[in-house]
Structure 1
Amino acid sequence: MWKILILLSVVTLGYCDDGEWKQVRTAQGEVRGRKDPAGGLYAFLNIPYAKVPVGTDRFKAPLSAPIWLEPLDAIDRGIICMQPPSPLFDTSSKVMQEDCLITNVYVPDTDDKNLPVIVYIHGGAFEIGFGNMMTPKHLVKNKKVIVVNFNYRLGVHGFLCLGTEDAPGNAGLKDQVALLRWVNKNIASFGGNPDDVTIAGYSAGSVSVDLLMLSKSAKGLFNKVILESGVSVGFIAIQRNPIENAKTYAKMLNFTKVNDFYLMQEFYKSAPMKSMFMSTFLGRKDSTVLFSPCIERRKGNQAFLDESPYNIIKSGNYNKIPMLIGISNMEGSLQMHHVGIWKDSMNTKFSDFLPVDIKFQSNDERDIVSNKIKEFYFGGQPVGEETILAYLDYFGDIMFGYSTLRAVKLHLEAGHKQIYLYEFSFVDDSVPVIPNTNERRAQHCAQTMAVLEGPMDEETLSEEYRNLKSVIREMWSNFAIHGTPVTEDSSLPTWPTTSAGGSPYMSIGKAVEIKESFLGERGKFWNKIYEKYYSAPVAVAPPPSQAYHNEL
Structure 2
Amino acid sequence: MKLWTCVLLLCAAAVCVTCEQPPSDEDWLELDTPQGPVRGRRDPDADHLYVFYNIPYATAPVGKDKYKPPLPAPVWKTPFDAVDKHVKCPQMMNNNFVPMNLVEKEDCLIANVYVPDARKKNLSVLVYVHGGGFIMGYGNLFKFKQFLKTKDIILVTFNYRLGVNGFLCLGTEGAPGNAGMKDQVALLRWVQKNIASYGGNPDDVTIAGFSAGSASVELLMLSKSAEGLFHRVIPESGGSLAVFSIQRDPLEIAKTFAKLLNFTNVDDTNALEEFYKTAPLELLNSYLSTESYDSNFLFSPCIERETANDAFLTESPLSILQKGSYRKLPVLYGFANMEGLVRIYYFEDWKHKMNEKFSDFLPADLTFKSDDEKHEVADKIKKFYFGNKPVGNDNILGFVDYFSDVFITTSMLRAVKLYAETGNNQVYLYEYSYVDEDIPTVPHTNVRGADHCAQTYAVMDGIDILNQNEDLASAGRLVMKKKVRQLWHNFIKTGKPVPEGSSLPAWPAAGAGRAPYMSLGQDVALHHAPLLETRTRFWEDIYQKYSREPIPPPATSAQSRHEL
Q: Which TM-score tier does this pair reach, normalised by the shorter chain? A: over 0.9
The equivalent position to 2:371 in structure 1, one of 354, 363, 366, is 363
Alignment partners' CA distance in 2, 1:270 and 1:281: 22
- State the match for 1:147 in structure 2: 155
Task: For residue 190 of structure 1, report the CA deviation from its aligned partner.
Answer: 0.9
Runs of 4+ in 1 over 6 A off after TM superposition: none
Query: Partners in 2 of 1:365 and 1:273 — Cα distance?
Result: 41
Contact 2:208 2:233 in 1 (8 A): yes
DSSP 3-state at the match of 1:146: strand
**How far off is 1:133 after superposition?**
0.1
Correspondent of 1:294 among 302, 311, 315:
302
8 Å contact from structure 1 (residues 106, 136) kept in 2: no
2:474 to 456, 462, 469: 462
1:337 aligns with 2:345: yes
Q: How does 1:315-326 map to 2 (within 5 A)?
A: 315-326=323-334
On the 8 A contact 1:245/1:291 being kept in 2, the answer is yes
The one of 444, 447, 458 equivalent to 1:450 is 458
Q: Does 1:533 align with 2:550?
A: no
- Distance in 1 (CA, whole Å) between partners of 2:139 and 2:71 is 19
Alignment of 1:242-321 (within 5 A): 242-299=250-307, 301-321=309-329
Aligned to 1:490: 502
- Which secondary structure state, in structure 1, belongs to the residue aligned with residue 146 of structure 2? helix
Residue 547 of structure 1 deviates from its aligned partner by 11
Alignment match of 2:195 (pick from 183, 187, 190): 187
Structure 1 residue 297, shift from structure 2 partner: 0.8
Q: What letter is aligned with 2:546?
A: Y
Distance 1:429 1:338, change over 3 A: same
Structure 2 residue aligned with 1:417: 425
**In terms of mean alpha carbon deviation, does 180-189 or 510-519 score higher?**
510-519
> Which residue number corresponds to residue 57 of structure 1?
65
Q: Are 2:30 and 1:23 aligned? A: yes
- Stretches of structure 1 lacking an aligned partner (at least 5 in a row): 1-13
The answer to whether the 8 Å contact 1:162/1:543 transfers is: no
Q: Report how far residue 362 of structure 1 moved.
A: 3.1
SS at match of 1:119: strand
SS in 2 for 1:179: helix
Q: 1:94-109 counterparts in 2 under 5 A?
A: 94-109=102-117
1:174 corresponds to: 182
Q: CA deviation at 1:259?
A: 2.5
The answer as to whether partners of 2:295 and 2:406 remain within 8 angstroms in 1 is: no
**CA displacement 1:217-276 (0-9 Å, x = unmatched):** 101100110010111112211101111211121122222222322112111101122321
| Post-superposition offset of 1:86 | 5.1
Partner residue of 1:523?
536
Change (3 A) 1:280 1:340: farther
- Name the SS of the counterpart of 2:70 in structure 1: coil
TM-score by length of 1: 0.94
Q: Say which of 457, 478, 481 aligns to 2:493.
A: 481
Q: Aligned to 1:245, what secondary structure does the other structure show?
A: helix
Deviations 1:327-368 (A, max 9, x none): 111111221122222222211221221122233333333222
Distance in structure 2 (CA, Å) of the matches to 1:388 and 1:544:
51
2:89 paired residue among 65, 81, 93: 81
1:399-455: CA deviations, max 9, x gaps? Answer: 100001001111111111110001111112221111111111111111111111254
Give deviations 1:7-49, integer Å, cap 9, x for gaps.
Answer: xxxxxxx964121121112221111111122321111111111
What secondary structure sits across from 1:132 in the alignment?
coil
1:514-552 per-position Cα deviation (integer Å, ceiling 9, x unaligned): 12221132122222222333232122222344899xxxx
Corresponding residue number in structure 2 for 1:6: none
Deviation at 1:200, TM superposition (A): 0.5
**Deviation per residue, 1:71-115 (Å, 9 max, x gap):** 112111100101113554343110011110011111111022111
Greater shift, 204-213 or 379-388, is seen at 379-388
Aligned CA distance change for structure 1 residues 196 and 86 (closer, same or farther; 3 Å): farther
Structure-2 separation of matches of 1:72 and 1:463: 43
Deviation per CA, 1:153-209, whole angstroms, max 9, x where unpaired? 000000000110100000000000000000000111111100110100111111110
- C-alpha distance in 2 between matches for 1:485 and 1:88: 34
TM-score normalised by the chain length of structure 2: 0.92
Contact 2:51 2:115 (C-alpha < 8 Å) held by counterparts? yes
Alignment partners' CA distance in 2, 1:457 and 1:43: 21
> Would you say how many aligned residue pairs link Structure 1 and Structure 2?
536
Look up the equivalent residue of 2:336 and give its one-letter code.
S
> Matches of 1:293 and 1:90 in 2, distance apart?
22
User: Structure 2: how far apart are the matches of 1:432 and 1:480?
Assistant: 32
Tell me, in whole angstroms, the C-alpha distance in 2 between the residues paired with 1:465 and 1:86: 33
Q: Distance in 2 between matches of 1:86 and 1:422?
A: 35
Q: Deviations over 1:115-153 (max 9, x none)?
A: 111100000000000010001212211112111110000
Distance 1:461 1:274 in 2: 41
Matched, 1:543 2:556: yes
Deviates more, 1:330-339 or 1:369-378: 330-339
Contact 1:125–1:281 under 8 Å retained in 2: no
1:396 aligns with 2:408: no
Asked if the contact 1:493–1:512 (Cα under 8 Å) also holds between the matched residues in 2, the reply is: yes
Unaligned runs of 5+ in 2: 1-20
CA contact (8 A) 1:261 1:544 kept: no
- Which whole-Å CA distance do the structure 2 matches of 1:544 and 1:289 have between them? 29
Contact 1:85 1:91 in 2 (8 A): no
SS in 2 for 1:373: helix
Alignment RMSD: 1.9
User: Partner of 1:32 in structure 2?
Assistant: 39
| Counterpart amino acid of residue 79 in structure 2 | P
The superposition leaves residues 367-419 of structure 1 with CA deviations (integer Å, 9 ceiling, x where unpaired) of 22221111110011111333221101001101100001001111111111110
Q: Deviations over 1:57-76 (max 9, x none)?
A: 10000011122221112111
Q: Deviations over 1:278-301 (max 9, x none)?
A: 343431111101100000111355
3-state secondary structure, aligned to 1:103: strand
Question: Residues 433 and 87 (structure 1 numbering): CA distance in 2 closer, same or farther, change over 3 Å?
Answer: farther
TM superposition shift of 1:211: 0.7
Q: Distance in 1 between matches of 2:240 and 2:251?
A: 20
